[in-house]
Amino acid sequence: MWYPLQQVTEENSCLQVAPGQHQAIVHEGHNDEETGFLGLSHKARKNLPGRSIEMDRGDVLCFSQKMPHRALSNRSDTVRWSMDVRYEATGQATESGKDKGFIVRSPRNPEAIMSCEAWLQKWQGQPKGTY
């Protein structure tokens, strides 16, 4: 789920999605050397249609990991603030989820549950801009 904390437009980096593509083939992941994120290769992205989703503060965009999406470049002179919340099954968690996430419910492994306070402690001393 993606929450803009202000109005987002094409000018200040709204998200774009590729409508209907969540039902298409799942593309192979590609490590983007520019952003460091796992995403789609330039070849796979080239032919995907992009629809800009301009939103207001308080709106929520919900989509699964199968929906190709990206943030447009921020061409404004302000920071675009947003928040994303992701659910991942622990057995299928991404590296980012394993490193930065926390387990909130686990009937099979209740000792793995992390409190919000403990999760916040993980962030103490993290260099700015590392996530």
pTM recorded for the entire structure: 0.69
Cα 48 from Cα 22, distance rounded (Å): 11
Name the residue ranges covered by the structural domains of the chain: 1-85, 87-131
Span 61-110, pLDDT tens digits? 998 877 888 889 999 999 999 988 888 888 888 777 888 888 888 898 89
Burial label, 8 (beta-carbon count in 10 A; 0-12, 13-18, 19+): buried
